[in-house]
Chain A
C-alpha cells in the first residue's frame, strides 16, 4: 500500500526542537558552580531559540504559525477528553492539546531563562543585565539567591511539562499509529 506523505515541519521547526532539547538539558544538568560558562551559554541558547520560535510563530510556514495550532481552552479540554476516550481526531499539524503545550513550554522556558539572566545580572554589576537586576531590586548575594529560587522553580516546572509533552506524544502516536518523534526528524507525516 502506498501512503502519501506531506511535509509538515519545516527545517527551522525541526532544528529548533532538537537544539532546544539539547540546550535545556545541558543547562539543567550542568551546575553553574561547576561549569558556569556552559550553563550560561546553554541557557542563553534556550532563550534565543524561544525568541526565534515566537517570531517564526508569527511569520513562519503554515504549521509553524500560532494561528495554525493555538486553540481556546474549551477545544483543548474537548481534545483531551477525546484522547482519554481513545477517539481523538487526527491533526496533520499540532492538535489542540499539543498547541497548548507548545505555548506553555515557550512561556515557562521564557520565565526560566529571564530569571536565569536576572540571576546572572545580580552578580554582574556594570553590565546591562546587572542594571536590569538592580532595577528589579535583585542586588548582591541576597538578591541573587532570591531570584535563583524562582529560576529553579521554573526550570523544574519546565521539566514537568517536558515529561507531560513526551507522554502526550507517546499516547497520540499510539492512538493514530504514527511515529511523531520520527516526524520531528524527517518533517513528514501521512497525509
Chain B
C-alpha cells in the first residue's frame, strides 16, 4: 500500500494551492449572510 514521496509532494502542493485560493476568496465572508446583504445595501446607499 506504500505511496511514493512524489505522490505525497503533489498532494501537499495541491492542498496548499486549494487553501491559498480559499483564503483569497472567502476570508472576508461574514458569519451571518443576511447581515452581510444589509451591510452591502447600506454601503451602496
Cβ-defined contact, B33 with A34, below 8 A: yes
Chain B residues near A (Cβ < 8 Å): 1-4, 6-7, 10-11, 14-15, 18-19, 21-22, 24-26, 29-34, 36
The answer to whether the Cβ of A136 comes within 8 Å of any Cβ in the partner chain is no
Interface range on chain A (Cβ under 8 Å from partner)? 20 to 34
| 5 nearest A-B residue pairs (beta carbon) | A36-B33, A48-B18, A59-B7, A33-B33, A37-B29
Contacts of B18 in A (CB 8 A): 47-48, 51-52
Nearest CB of chain A from residue B3's CB, rounded to whole Å = 5
Contacts of A127 in B (CB 8 A): 25
Tally of A-B residue pairs with Cβ under 8 A? Answer: 71
14 contacts between A and B (CB under 8 A): A7-B1, A10-B1, A10-B3, A35-B31, A36-B30, A41-B22, A47-B18, A48-B22, A52-B15, A59-B3, A59-B7, A60-B7, A61-B1, A120-B26
The answer to whether the Cβ of A110 comes within 8 Å of any Cβ in the partner chain is no
CA distance A129 to B29 in the complex (A): 13
CA distance A43 to B44 in the complex (A): 28
The answer to whether the Cβ of A135 comes within 8 Å of any Cβ in the partner chain is no
